[in-house]
């Protein structure tokens, strides 16, 4: 339900989220492991809701060919992300987990299967526009390389989760569960239905991230590393996604969220 209490000032005010990476040990350790996990979740979800809220944008009329070009590029990037962030990252998580984490490894393997299906969904949508995903030929924008680097440099499965299931997956959930989602205005019904289909798989993936976070959330060093990974990834992700939204026919009228 729309929040009718929001004033124009509220809708244009910068969303500020806690920069846990800058907190000292006393401050960061005041929470239980579960409380800290919840705070990481809500931080990412708040950013997704803010980033995709259509009230933060003005719409611009594009020529059909310009819109089609931007849409095809968006879907190619999503197809690449489903492949790389959805399979390679999870495979690394599996290899980094201890041998006794059999159940979690199996859940991550099922997530890889889901992500491959998501890749196929975007491939099918691309073919509607006479385009192909062409993963091997996709040229990564510099900001996407930075997002990839955050995951590649992560040393534990929990850090990967902080920059994957507990960052990107949570943000993307706002595409469908936010009533004012800008994508409901930017995409046609068939593409939006495909997004809804994909997002139905996300709750178990986010749950995988939750359990990975809780595996390494007891010490200050662990919490600090999780915060750094999530903040870096979300910072780059916000820049990439708002750039894509703008190319699809919008102008952002609200500042991007910040960590303080």
CATH at residue 138: 1.20.910.10
In-domain check, residue 11: no
State CA 88 to chain mean position distance: 16
Instruction: State the CB neighbour count (10 A cutoff) for residue 63.
Output: 9
pLDDT at residue 7, rounded to an integer: 46
If residue 251 lies in a helix (H) or strand (E), which one and from where to where? strand 250-252
Question: Nearest Cα to 105, choosing from 113, 97, 114?
Answer: 97
How far the first Cα of the chain sits from its last, in Å, is 29
pLDDT at residue 76, rounded to an integer: 96
Q: What is d(CA 103, CA 112) in angstroms, rounded to the nearest whole number?
A: 14
In-domain check, residue 150: yes
Q: What is d(CA 207, CA 182) in angstroms, rounded to the nearest whole number?
A: 26
In-domain check, residue 62: yes
Q: What count of Cα atoms within 13 Å lies in the side-chain half-sphere of residue 197?
A: 15
- Give long-range contacts, CB 8 A cutoff, 24+ apart: 125-133: 125/75, 125/190, 125/191, 125/194, 126/72, 126/75, 126/76, 126/79, 128/190, 129/68, 129/71, 129/72, 129/75, 131/72, 131/75, 131/76, 133/75, 133/76, 133/79, 133/80
Give every CB contact of residue 84 below 8 A, 6+ residues apart in sequence. 148
In-domain check, residue 13: no
In-domain check, residue 205: yes
pLDDT at residue 243, rounded to an integer: 98
pLDDT at residue 136, rounded to an integer: 84
pLDDT at residue 9, rounded to an integer: 56
pLDDT at residue 137, rounded to an integer: 85
CA 81 to each of CA 110, 138, 152, 217: distance values in angstroms, whole numbers, following the listed order? 17, 11, 14, 27
Structural domain for 150, as ranges? 38-251
In-domain check, residue 1: no
pLDDT at residue 132, rounded to an integer: 84
State CA 161 to chain mean position distance: 11
In-domain check, residue 26: no
pLDDT at residue 10, rounded to an integer: 54
The domain total for the chain is: 1
Q: Which residues of the chain have pLDDT under 70?
A: 1-11
Question: Nearest Cα to 171, choosing from 74, 259, 56, 44?
Answer: 44
Q: What is d(CA 179, CA 143) in angstroms, rounded to the nearest whole number?
A: 28
In-domain check, residue 226: yes
pLDDT at residue 135, rounded to an integer: 84
């Amino acid at each position: 339900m729309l929040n009718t209490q929001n004033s124009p000032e509220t809708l244009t005010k910068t969303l500020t989220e806690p920069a846990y990476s800058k907190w000292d040990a006393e401050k960061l350790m005041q929470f239980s492991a579960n409380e800290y996990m919840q705070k990481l979740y809500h931080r990412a979800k708040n950013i997704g809701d803010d980033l995709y809220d259509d009230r933060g944008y003005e719409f611009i009329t594009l020529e059909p060919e310009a819109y089609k070009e931007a849409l095809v590029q968006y879907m190619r990037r999503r197809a690449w992300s489903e492949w790389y962030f959805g399979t390679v990252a999870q495979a690394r998580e599996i290899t980094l987990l201890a041998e006794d984490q059999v159940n979690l490894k199996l859940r991550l393997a099922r997530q890889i299967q889901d992500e491959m299906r998501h890749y196929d969904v975007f491939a099918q949508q691309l073919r509607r526009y006479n385009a192909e995903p062409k993963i091997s030929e996709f040229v990564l924008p510099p900001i996407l390389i930075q997002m990839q680097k955050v995951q590649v440099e992560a040393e534990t499965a929990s850090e990967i989760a902080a920059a994957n299931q507990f960052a990107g997956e949570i943000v993307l959930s706002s595409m469908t569960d936010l009533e004012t989602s800008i994508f409901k205005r930017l995409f046609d019904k068939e593409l939006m239905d495909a997004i809804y289909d994909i997002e139905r798989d996300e709750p178990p993936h986010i749950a995988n991230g939750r359990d990975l976070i809780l595996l390494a959330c007891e010490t200050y060093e662990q919490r600090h590393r999780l915060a750094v990974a999530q903040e870096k990834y979300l910072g780059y992700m916000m820049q990439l996604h708002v750039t894509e939204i703008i190319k699809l026919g919008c102008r952002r009228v609200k500042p991007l969220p910040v960590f303080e």
